[in-house]
Amino acid sequence: MKNANLFNAMIDRYNELSFTHNYIYGFTYKKMVYMVHADNSVMPYVLTLDEGSRGAGFSLRFKPNNSQKLLLISKGAQILCSQAAFEQMFKDSKYNRGEIFEKMVTELNGQEWEKDNVPFTDDGDLTVDGIAYQIKFEKATFTSERQLARF
């Protein structure tokens, strides 16, 4: 029960601080890479409470299991590319999978991608038609207890 309370409290605090409540989630399922637009209402259903790294306490992570992936597919997820093509882009790049996904989504929206480190409190990763989005690929960390304690 304590962890459930912590999980919900961390989501609430993240939402209080976040610049945007719109997300583009990416994940693999049956050898394909999917993307889906969602708002913060799906966070409790697709995020998990995980051990943070290097003394950061617990963290909120997007590492969906199959039932969570099916939930996201039911929310209108679309296929972005094959998992094989995605993995080849990753192997041919200096960027991690999350950055590769962010680059693909940005370019799909007709914009040039540039790696940045803008905090989630200041802006989204992508703005389309005046709507800012945070972009998260599976295994992404949203925030940690230590990060939330800074605000």
Confidence of residue 56 (pLDDT cuts 50, 70, 90): confident
What pLDDT does residue 1 have? Answer: 53
Report the C-alpha gap between 106 and 113 in whole angstroms.
6
Enumerate the domain spans of the chain. 2-149
pLDDT digits (tens, 9 = 90+) for 81-132: 999 999 999 999 999 999 999 999 999 999 999 998 899 999 999 999 999 9
Burial class (CB in 10 A: 0-12, 13-18, 19+), 17: middle
Q: How far apart are CA 72 and CA 26, in angstroms?
A: 9
Upper half-sphere CA count for residue 26 (Cβ side, 13 Å):
24
Distance CA 29, CA 77 (A): 11
Segment 17-41 mean pLDDT: 97
pLDDT surpasses 80 at 2 = no
Name the amino acid, one letter, at 48. Answer: T
To which residue do tokens 């590492």 refer? 63
pTM of the model: 0.93
- Rounded CA-CA distance 127/55 in Å is 33
How far out from the chain centre does Cα 22 lie? 10
